[in-house]
Amino acid sequence: MKQMKKVLFVCLGNICRSPLAEAIFRNKAQSLGYEVDSAGTAAYHVGKDPDYRSVAVALKYDVPISHKARQFEAEDFEQFDYVIAMDRSNYYNMAALVSEKPSNLFLMREFDSEADGDMDVPDPYYGGDDGFEQIFVMMSRAIDQLISHIQIEEQA
């Protein structure tokens, strides 16, 4: 019996990008049986719901979203098959928690065919609603390719 793949999305505070990515992934991959969660590298919002703008854009696209913010821990590298950082800052902060770079640590936009060199999913927290719309579309596209990547690896 094949082991269920586990995916963790990580941003800074775990209220904007990563819970939205978790919701998108869960919605797109629900029939595949993957487990998904999200976390933040900082503890600013632990226990809080996603930002209302993340909730609004998820609802606009009929993507159910429900999460309580939590902080990323080094042990998460052992618990998840894929740890997906939203930007380079979060990527390096997570990598610094362990002695060598984990093979399961990726940037979200590594799976985005339209990344064109900028590998960060921008943090929309201090901007308007359009920033949340932009990251929803960007992450949705990357998650399609991430799911394909996981399925190809499972068949290898």
pLDDT at residue 52 above 60? yes
User: So what's the pLDDT on residue 156?
Assistant: 79
Active-site positions? 11, 17, 123
Domain regions of the chain by residue span:
6-155
Give residue 145's identity as a one-letter amino acid code.
Answer: Q
Residue given tokens 């999913």 in the structure block: 121
Q: How many CB atoms are closer than 10 A to CB 87?
A: 22
Cα–chain-centroid distance for residue 67? 13
Quickly list H helices, 8-128: 17-29, 52-60, 76-79, 88-95
pLDDT tens digit sequence for 69-107: 999 999 999 999 999 999 999 999 999 999 998 999 999
DSSP letter at 129? H
Strand 35-40 vs strand 6-11: parallel, antiparallel, or unpaired? parallel
Q: What is the largest CA-CA distance in the chain?
A: 46
CATH of 6-155, one of 3.40.50.300, 3.40.50.1860, 1.10.1840.10, 3.40.50.2300: 3.40.50.2300
pLDDT tens digit sequence for 28-47: 999 999 999 999 999 999 99
